[in-house]
Amino acid sequence: MRQSPNPYSIDSTLRIVHTLLLAEEGGFLLHAASGMRNGSAFLFSGLSGAGKTTLSRLAPADVTLLTDEISYVRQEESGYRAYGTPFAGELAKVGENVSAPVGGLYFLAQGLENRIEAVEPAEAARRLLRNILFFAKDPELVNGLFDSACRFVQCVPAYRLTFYPDERVWDLIR
Amino acid sequence: MSDKYIARSTGIAARKLGEETIIIAAETSSVFTLNEQATVVWEAADGVTPLRTIVEGRVCQEFDVTPEAAYRDAEELVTKLRGTASWWFRTSPLLPPSSLPCRP
């Protein structure tokens, strides 16, 4: 792979390499902001404009930001763990180099009130697959990633988080 | 009316999550969710059982639906997924290898 020597090239290369490394061990990179609170990591997933950076900016002091753009999820024996990443979005701030077990996955939508609704596993898997970063076309890797997404939604509770952009939304995340 | 036969394609991965089934076509990364009724059709798509038999023998037994409505839904499902190469669609049953005539 030949890339021009600028920070964005390195960032892109790292993303591609890590999607492949994680795929082999049941993990993935996800278009999601993530934060750690009370020993658990929470993922806030959505494509551009969904509110990942907005939610990250609103995070109170007791939340450790792992990323406002790309979340790093690894499978471990007892479940899944999210790690801080250097992949920053509009916040332009790298995540803390810490990790925690994933306590919940939230699909973001902006609205006039703050509301959480449970999402059924099949719907969660479909949405999750839409937001996972993956660049390979190899059928074996795609199938492996599909399995990982299906396993993930069976282990981690998934919700739709509709939020009005002020700090009260974080009262719902515990 | 000729029978129709469907068989799941080998290029498809499927996982049942709750009452629904999620399937992915690896080649195109297309993802589809099948509801409970469609899941029954999917699971029974062995290439040997006619679609009408699947509908009358499985779908109508498990769901409160008329054979006509269920068959219409099943045909719609087959047509929709056919374009994604999710399954084969035939007017004759698939024959197991053991039933094929030997070459002289």
First to last CA, chain B: 35
The per-residue pLDDT for A73 is 98
pLDDT tops 50 at residue B104: no
Q: Which has more confidence, B2 or B68?
A: B68
Query: CB contact, 8 Å: B14 with chain A?
Result: no
Instruction: Name residues of chain A where pLDDT drops below 50.
Output: none
Burial call A147-157: b when 16+ CB within 10 Å, e when fewer: ebbbbbbeebe
Tokens of A72: 């790093």
Q: Which residues of B39-78 are buried (b: 16+ CB within 10 A; e: fewer)?
A: bbbbebbebebebbebbeebbbeeeeeeeeebbebbeebb
Judged by a CB distance cut-off of 8 A, whether residue B18 touches chain A is: yes
pLDDT value of residue B24: 87
CA angle A131, A136, A140 (to 5 degrees): 100
pLDDT tens-digit series, residues B23-74: 888 777 788 889 999 999 999 998 899 999 999 999 999 999 999 999 999 9
Question: Looking at chain A from residue 102 to 141, which residues have their Cβ under 8 Å from any Cβ of chain B?
Answer: 120-123, 125-126, 129-130, 134, 137, 139-140
Question: What is each CA distance from B38 to A8, B10, B76, B77, B104, in whole angstroms?
Answer: 45, 18, 10, 7, 43
In which band, very low, low, confident or very high, does the pLDDT at B97 lie, cut at 50, 70 and 90?
very low
Q: What is the pLDDT of residue B89?
A: 63
pLDDT at position B96 is: 57
Q: Which residue of B has its CA nearest to A124?
A: B17
B contact residues 54-93, partner A, Cβ 8 Å cutoff: none
> Domains of chain B, with CATH numbers?
5-88 (3.90.930.60)
Interface test with B, best of A28, A119, A141, A150 (most B CBs within 10 A): A150
Rounded-to-integer distance, Cα B2 and Cα B88, Å: 16
Please report, for chain A, the start and end positions of each structural domain, with discontinuous segments joined by +: 7-164
Q: Which residues contact B88 (CB under 8 A, 6 or more apart)?
A: B6, B7, B9, B47, B94
pLDDT reading at B16 higher than 60: yes
If you measure CA to CA, which chain A residue comes closest to B22? Answer: A122
Question: What is the largest distance, in Å, between two alpha-carbon atoms of chain B?
Answer: 51
ipTM higher than threshold 0.85: no
DSSP A164: -
CA distance B38 to B81: 11
Number of CB atoms found within 10 A of residue A163's CB = 25
Structure tokens at B39: 């899941």
Q: Is the pLDDT of residue B99 over 70?
A: no
Please give the helix or strand (H or E) that residue A153 lies within, else none: helix A139-155
- Put simply, the answer to whether A142 touches B33 (Cβ < 8 Å) is no
pLDDT digits (tens, 9 = 90+) for A97-130: 999 999 999 999 999 999 999 999 999 999 999 9
DSSP chain B: ----EEEE-TTEEEEEETTEEEEEETTTTEEEEE-HHHHHHHHH-EEEEEHHHHIIIIIHHHSS--HHHHHHHHHHHHHHHHTTTSEEEESSPPPPGGGSPPP-
Mutate to test the interface with A, among B29, B33, B34, B36 (most CBs of A within 10 A): B29
Mean pLDDT of B63-88: 85
A 10 A CB-CB count for A29 gives: 24
Q: Are strands A99-110 and A79-83 parallel, antiparallel or unpaired?
A: antiparallel
